[in-house]
Amino acid sequence: MPSAQDVRDLLAPHLMGALSLAGSKLVVTDLEVIEMGRSFTAVFELVANGERWRVRLLCGSSEMALFDGSPSPDLVGGAANMLRIRLFEWWETKGSERQIAKLGERLD
């Protein structure tokens, strides 16, 4: 069974560095995976518009499959894509959705 660090290492190549979507650009500078029973949290540190942020995204049972044996490249890519989408959703809606805004904290 992969450890949280193993899962982080699987996801990092897909999520670290510059990410762009529809005119928005996020630069992920750090990624941590924290396992919590049947779920895990992906903790991103990123830079966007000159601001530094830490964002915590809770992942559920479908992403927990990453902890089962040797996950397939398709599973890793799909989970990374879902996290990327959720990260951009957070960025685009944090100013208008209070619950979403709580997922991130500004570092500077």
Average pLDDT over residues 36-48: 94
pLDDT, position 16: 97
Does position 96 have pLDDT exceeding 90, yes or no? Answer: yes
| In the block, residue with structure tokens 């951009």 | 88
Q: Kindly give, in sequence order, each residue whose CB lies less than 8 Å from that of residue 28, ignoring residues fewer than 6 positions away.
A: 15, 16, 17, 19, 44, 45, 46, 87
Q: Taking the domains of the chain in order of start, what are their residue ranges?
A: 4-106
d(CA 79, CA 66): 8
pLDDT digits (tens, 9 = 90+) for 20-40: 988 889 999 999 999 998 899
Long-range contacts of 35-39 (CB under 8 A, 24+ apart): 35/3, 35/4, 35/7, 35/67, 38/64, 39/64
pLDDT, position 103: 96
pLDDT, position 1: 80
> Which tokens in the block code for residue 8?
């982080």
Pairing, β 51-59 against β 104-106 = antiparallel
d(CA 41, CA 33): 6
| In the block, residue with structure tokens 């995976």 | 33
The larger pLDDT score, comparing residue 48 to residue 69, is at: 48
Amino acid at residue number 82? M
